[in-house]
Amino acid sequence: MSEKIAPFHLAILIYMIQSGVTLTKLPRLLAVDFGTNGWIMVILVSFVACCNIFLIGLVNRIGGGKDLFDIMEALIPRGVMAPFYLLLAFIYSVLVILIGKDYVVITQVLSFQNTNAYYFIIIMLLLVIYLVSKDVYTITKVTAVFFVFTVWMTLLIFYHIPYMSFTRMTPFFLAEGENFLLGFINLFTAFLGFEIVVFLFPYIDRSKKNWFRSVYIGNMITTFIYLVISIVSYMFFSLEQLKLTSFPVLNLIAFIEIELIERIESFIFTLFLMKIVVSIVMYIWVAKLLFKRALPVVPDKWVTLILIFSGLAITFNANLEYEIGEWLNIFGLIGASIAIALPLIMLTVLGILKIRRRNRA
Amino acid sequence: MRKMSCVVTLAFILLTGCNDQKIIEQLGIVSLISYDDISESEEHKMKVTAVIPDYSIEATSEQEILEAEASLMKEAEEKLANQTRQKLVNGQIRSVIFGEDLASKGIKDIIQAMEREQEIGSRVKAMVAEGEAVAILKSTGVENIGDYMEKMIKKAAEEYLVPNSDIHIFYRDLLDDGIDPVTPLIGLTEGRANLKGTALFKDDRYVGSLNSELSRIFLTLYGKVNSSELTVKMPDGEHMRYINFNYNESDRDVKVKKKGKDITGIEIKIDLKGSVLEDTKEGVISSPEESKKIEKLTEDYITQNGEKVLSILKENRTDSLGLKQYVRNSLSFKEWKALDKDSILQTTPITLSVDVKVKDTGMMQ
């Protein structure tokens, strides 16, 4: 592990983990849960995510760059922590397997209806296994390439400008929303991914003092793209239509007309695979780290397989769109709680350690 | 081992594409579909007709027209498929025609089903036919009616003869509480398919229409027009004067006038800028006085016909211009919810103010 992650790559990595399959549904979630002008909530929730990142930044500053394991085990013996590590590892693997399944379900709405869904899942996971067997530096480099392959899609919205209208947006502020709280949680889970940086501390190039800023920058890229897409959707669809459109972003892409090719969304949606793979790889990578810390005897190769297969086994019953949706709601909530809880717990431990050190002195 | 696993992965990725094949010679690619009402025999029954261009060598004609009776779009598809050796696919449906009777009963279900179907794009052009839609499909003189209709409607929308009628736009306006949808109206003239104007909808029901001349005026009231032309017919002194006004910049603005909380009126402001390319008046027409006069005549022409359009809309109690969107945006959410949306446009006076500017008179003075 000689080479370290540059801040620039870190920003891209954070963005790529954050944005994934939720993006395709995001405008509908906003419309259903918040109603008119729900895009405003993206700014608000992004701010909440920033606060969360700030907490992680505090951990980094106070802990002096020590990662989760070093901080926790300075207070609590590893044997006691091991079950928690394992639990966290399995939660993360289940979460990303669900995200992968969700992606496959949407793919099959568009095409390949007659193919067994597990075919796609296996192919996707093969890519994941290959990538996760590399070190994190290589993963971030691959992520940067994937970023270039996918980020241009945002520019497609220029095509929609003639079909957008401010009048359709209405001046009403969050009227007709169904469930503000659920919407808030759903939207927050769309921002998840930044919490992984807690595990990345030792792998980051710390020669630049302000490197932690790239986590904020990554979050800003996500916010910007979410915001643009939702504002465009609010001006392109009427509110009731947006509430009924399952994947507004796919409809936006499908609206683009090119001679000869109809329905380019089925082509472009395959590019989303890269985003999904990055999310899955990074979470599995963290899960692997956790697992190995708890059970160091298990060989490297087997850890990935154990994690993936247990994830598949646990989610074996979640295959339909609504089943996966329900599972994702639960695991999204768990993921969100972990993202908030991790830095808080670590800060508490750091505080206790400090007091103890002072008392000893 | 490494090489082997690479090969296996590649095989996995590439060979997946061989699953779910669709071979083009075996496909019946539907290009146009029409719906007619035959609910006298049974409730919800429709006559569904599909046009399938036939490119295979053994085909005797360039297209095949299939008919079926059904209550659901998908049910009709099944019945249509029974009549052909090909596998029917919807991916290339480019336009859909509704018969007058069916349209006046409401077409929300069909539009929604088309939006739901992943194979059908949201750019499919919707239109209403005078009388039976199937008559258009069977009209003579055109070899490939599916392609013909799509190109005709697309061209007409680009030239602002009829409104743009992608099903996305229809559905968007249908679900918006501040506007009612519109589509082009087509019909037969001497056996040939022909544009007839604009079909007006009240919610999802076809309620009335505007002829071609009023359609052009309607579109200037409807929104921004990038380029179109008007044939102005106005009395000038003793004679009728005909002017061709070719405009390339037109903008619409809607203002809701309020007194306290009450809406006292709606003003539609239209700005047009263009050139005069033909005029029945003899002599020089580019002088400032003459230009002013042409501007005045054109303004009067648009105002007169615009008022005709407004009265037709009012008669049918429809808000095709989307004026209610502007009413909505001038109110608070509570006021808007409490508003009697059906009668607001019936009771509020709507005024037109037209501003025409003659940019030039072409290559002649």
Q: Are A234 and A38 in contact (CB under 8 A)?
A: yes
Q: Which residues of A touch B (CB under 8 A)?
A: 36, 109-115, 119-120, 122-123, 126-127, 130, 163, 167-168, 170-172, 175, 237-241, 244-245, 251, 254-255, 257, 262-263
Distance CA A204, CA B81 (A): 61
Contact indicator for B121, A291 with CB cutoff of 8 Å? no
**B122/A255 CB distance under 8 A:** yes
Q: In the beta sheet, which residues pair with residue B188?
A: B193
Q: Report whether A319 contacts A117 (CB < 8 A).
A: yes
Say if residues A76 and A293 touch (Cβ distance below 8 Å): no
Domains and their CATH numbers in chain A: 7-350 (1.20.1740.10)
The 3-class SS string of B293-307 reads HHHHHHHHHHHHHHH
Which residues, 6+ apart, have CB-to-CB distance to B180 below 8 Å? B173, B174, B200, B201, B202, B203, B318, B319, B320
**How would you write the pLDDT of chain B (365 residues) with one tens digit per residue?**
778 888 887 887 777 667 667 777 778 888 889 999 887 777 778 889 988 887 766 666 678 888 888 888 888 888 888 888 888 888 888 899 999 999 988 899 889 988 888 888 888 999 999 988 888 888 877 778 888 888 899 898 888 888 988 899 999 999 988 899 999 999 988 888 889 999 999 988 999 999 888 998 899 888 888 888 888 888 887 888 888 888 888 888 899 888 888 888 899 999 988 888 888 877 777 788 888 888 888 898 999 999 999 999 999 999 998 889 999 888 888 888 888 888 888 888 888 998 988 888 877 77
B294 touches B276 (CB < 8 A) = yes
- Is residue A41 a contact partner of residue A34, using CB atoms and an 8 Å limit? yes
- Give the residue among A67, A268, A286 at the shortest CA–CA distance from A193: A286
Distance (Å) from the alpha carbon of A97 to chain B's nearest alpha carbon: 19
Please choose, from the candidates B178, B208, B160, B189, the residue with its C-alpha nearest in 3D space to the C-alpha of residue B314. B208
For residue A113, what are the CA distances in angstroms to A106, B12, B24, B25, B72?
A: 10, 18, 18, 21, 21
- Written as six digits, the tokens of A273 are 């695979």
Residue-wise pLDDT tens digits, A258-301: 776 666 777 888 888 899 999 999 999 999 999 999 988 988 88
Name which of A126, A168, A170 is nearest B9 (Cβ-Cβ).
A126
Q: Nearest C-alpha of chain B: how many angstroms from A101?
A: 17
ipTM (interface predicted TM): 0.86
A-interface mutation test, from B29, B115, B164, B176, most A Cβ less than 10 A away: B176
- Please, what's the b/e burial string for A6-16 (b: 16 or more CB within 10 A of its CB; e: otherwise)? bbebbbbbbbb
- What is the pairing mode between strands B350-360 and B95-99? unpaired
Please indicate if any CB of chain A lies within 8 Å of the CB of B325. yes
Distance between the two ends of chain A, CA-based, in angstroms?
A: 36
β pairing state of B32-37 and B95-99: parallel
The DSSP secondary-structure symbol of B166 reads: B
Cα-based torsion angle of the residue sequence A286, A288, A289, A290 in order, rounded to the nearest 10 degrees: 90
Q: A280, B21, A225: which is closest to A233 by C-alpha?
A: A225
Question: Residue A64 carries which side chain, given as an amino acid letter?
Answer: G
Burial (0-12, 13-18, 19+ Cβ within 10 Å), A340: middle
Q: What are phi and psi of A319, to 5 degrees?
A: -130, -25
DSSP conformation letters of A80-145: HHHHHHHHHHHHHHHHHHHHHHHHHHHHHHHS-TTS-HHHHHHHHHHHHHHHHTS-HHHHHHHHHH
SS3 of A37, please? coil
| Model pLDDT for residues A121-178, shown as the tens digit of each residue | 988 998 899 899 888 899 999 999 999 998 888 888 898 888 888 888 888 888 888 8
Dist. CA B294–CA B279, nearest whole Å: 10
Q: In chain A, which residues have their Cβ closer than 8 Å to the Cβ of B119?
A: 263
Q: How many CB atoms lie within 10 A of CB B189?
A: 10
The whole-angstrom distance between B126's CA and the closest CA on chain A is 15
| Residues listed for chain B | 365
Secondary structure (3-state) at A224: helix
What CA dihedral angle connects A51, A52, A54 and A55, to 10 degrees?
130
Sign, CA dihedral A261-A262-A265-A266, equals negative
